[in-house]
Amino acid sequence: MSKEYKIAVIGQGYVGLPLALAFAKHYSVVGYDIKKERVEQLKQGVDLTKEVEIDQLKVSLLEYQTSGGIRGYLPSYTLEDLAQANVFIITVPTPINQFNAPDLSPLKGASKLIASVIKKGDIVIYESTVYPGCTEEECIPVIEQFSTLKFNQDFYVGYSPERINPGDKVNTLETIVKVTSGSTPIVAEEIDLLYRMIIKAGTHKAPSLKVAEAAKVIENAQRDVNISFVNELALIFDRIGIDTQDVLEAAGTKFNFLKYKPGLVGGHCISVDPYYLAHKAIQVGYYPDVILSGRRVNDEIPVFIASKVVKLMIQKGIDVSRSRVLLLGFAFKENCPDTRNTKVAKIYEELVSYGIEVDVYDPWVNPEEVREEYGIEVITTIDEVEKRVYQTSDHRLPSTNKHYEGVVLTTAHTDFRALDIENMISSPAVIYDAKAALDREIIDSRL
């Protein structure tokens, strides 16, 4: 197998772009994406995910041009550019469908795409999160079928699960230990050495593809179960009438208490990956009670938050069906534009079902993507929010009454800490903190 690596990274999103730019410091890298608009943006040095430094992107683009393609980064959507590679790294999404079953269509589509350009001696590395055995059972057969090449004779495969944490500028690709694996011992070592070129924290070579797949999927399943425990505590303590954060602060004084916090569990990993593991468990004859019960609890939280806000409004004598509520945040996590599987959408839907007029303010997200994916209009500027604060309509007294009867902090963006929330609300009104990030003096309740 050639040591003159030419790498193609399929998928230029939150995972693929940082990976491509890291390798581009050492090798020729094609960043392939089926979205032409995304590729054109990258060619202009624009990254709407905000996962990479713009200067780094521009330097990599220029390096490719000035080196004649020996090093650097080339965004592309053409098969001609893809065919130049001898190492293909797949970083496409692995979502779930409406029945919470794995949707492998992006993964199989990428495998079929690679099959059209793969050559003898090439390596395919999967980074997308899957269940143990998926690479060998679902992906490799696709490559064999559409390429006529034989696995472990003509081409080789690795699995190295992504560990990107969107929005995190401290725990980055290079500073997180990378798990690697290969379909033969020789290929496993070659893949491990390849990743060691870019991962400062080092690598961990797993003994098989299945072990590497399992390691990734349980990382997020473990977090999901732990968060579901404290979310269930929040549901219990709300009924008892005590503050969950106060309880956790007291319990956290013990040396071995795990300091998880309740919250909305969205995004592309924690709220999805447990279903992949559950799918495989059921396939082999075991029903994963703990994993799926944790999923059920976490999926209840958006409905609980919406219901709690409505109850608080009723207790204050607010006419819910003629009220307005402002949601602060739509991204699934703070200081990040990522809206994949955000649970704020469910809170929005629940509040609207009560007849409430709901505005959403998030300066981080792409409003066009939110509109296309969720059918929700998002306000992205504070000026627009302030205009709405003082708007009135024919069904309410115009005087000094302000716009919102409720404000809910749903994403703890740093931007929101400077907001004068009390100056946005009418009287009476409800302020609910779903992230335990606001001053307790101004809120009515929190998760």
What does the pLDDT look like over 87-139, one tens digit per residue? 999 999 999 999 999 999 999 999 999 999 999 999 999 999 999 999 999 99
Regarding whether 157 and 16 lie in a shared domain, the answer is yes
Percentage of the chain exceeding pLDDT 70 = 97
The answer as to whether 151 is a domain residue is yes
Cα distances (Å, whole numbers) of residue 136 to 61, 124, 142, 149, 447: 35, 12, 10, 15, 42
Distance CA 432, CA 447 (A): 8
Regarding whether 191 and 72 lie in a shared domain, the answer is yes
Beta bridge partners, 76, equal 32
Query: Tokens 């959507």 appear where?
Result: 77
409 confidence band (pLDDT: 50, 70, 90): very high
The answer as to whether 170 is a domain residue is yes
pLDDT at 394: 43
Statement: the pTM of the whole predicted model exceeds 0.75:
yes
Q: Which residue, 160, 191, 207, sits at the end of a domain? A: 207
Query: What is the chain's mean pLDDT, rounded?
Result: 94
For the stretch 346-395, pLDDT in tens is 999 999 999 999 999 999 999 999 999 999 999 999 999 988 887 654 44
pLDDT at 1: 41
Regarding whether 14 and 107 lie in a shared domain, the answer is yes
CATH of the domain at 391: 3.40.50.720
The answer as to whether 313 is a domain residue is yes
Cα distances (Å, whole numbers) of residue 168 to 201, 262, 307, 327, 337: 16, 20, 31, 23, 12
Distance CA 408, CA 305 (A): 9
pLDDT at 401: 54
**Does an H or E element contain 369, and which?**
helix 367-374
pLDDT at 387: 87
Regarding whether 191 and 294 lie in a shared domain, the answer is no
167 confidence band (pLDDT: 50, 70, 90): confident
Regarding whether 197 and 340 lie in a shared domain, the answer is no
The answer as to whether 97 is a domain residue is yes
169 confidence band (pLDDT: 50, 70, 90): confident
pLDDT at 165: 87
The answer as to whether 377 is a domain residue is yes
- Helix then strand count (H, E) for the chain reads 15, 13
Is 279's pLDDT higher than 70? yes
- Residues in contact with 239: Cβ distance below 8 Å, sequence separation at least 6, in sequence order: none
Is 400's pLDDT higher than 90? no
Question: What is the rounded average pLDDT of the residues 57-73?
Answer: 95
Regarding whether 171 and 70 lie in a shared domain, the answer is yes
CA angle 44, 21, 58 (to 5 degrees): 30
Closest CA to 144 of 121, 170, 111: 111
Regarding whether 169 and 21 lie in a shared domain, the answer is yes
pLDDT at 16: 97
Regarding whether 183 and 281 lie in a shared domain, the answer is no
Rg of the chain on CA atoms, in Å: 24
Is 397's pLDDT higher than 50? no
Beta bridge partners, 102, equal 96
Choose the weakest-confidence range: 17-21, 56-60, 151-155, 419-423.
Answer: 419-423
Regarding whether 387 and 312 lie in a shared domain, the answer is yes
- Residues in contact with 274: Cβ distance below 8 Å, sequence separation at least 6, in sequence order: 217, 220, 221, 224, 225, 291, 292, 294, 295
Regarding whether 202 and 277 lie in a shared domain, the answer is no
Domain that holds residue 156: 6-207
Query: Tokens 């001053």 appear where?
Result: 439
pLDDT at 395: 43
Closest CA to 15 of 110, 99, 84, 97: 110
Catalytic residue check, 336: no
Is 218's pLDDT higher than 70? yes
The answer as to whether 246 is a domain residue is no
For the stretch 178-192, pLDDT in tens is 999 999 999 999 999
Is 236's pLDDT higher than 70? yes
Question: What is the rounded average pLDDT of the residues 77-95?
Answer: 97
Catalytic-role residue among 134, 139, 269, 336: 269
403 confidence band (pLDDT: 50, 70, 90): confident
As for how many domains the chain has, the answer is 2
The answer as to whether 348 is a domain residue is yes
Regarding whether 200 and 51 lie in a shared domain, the answer is yes
The answer as to whether 46 is a domain residue is yes
pLDDT at 208: 98
Regarding whether 173 and 92 lie in a shared domain, the answer is yes
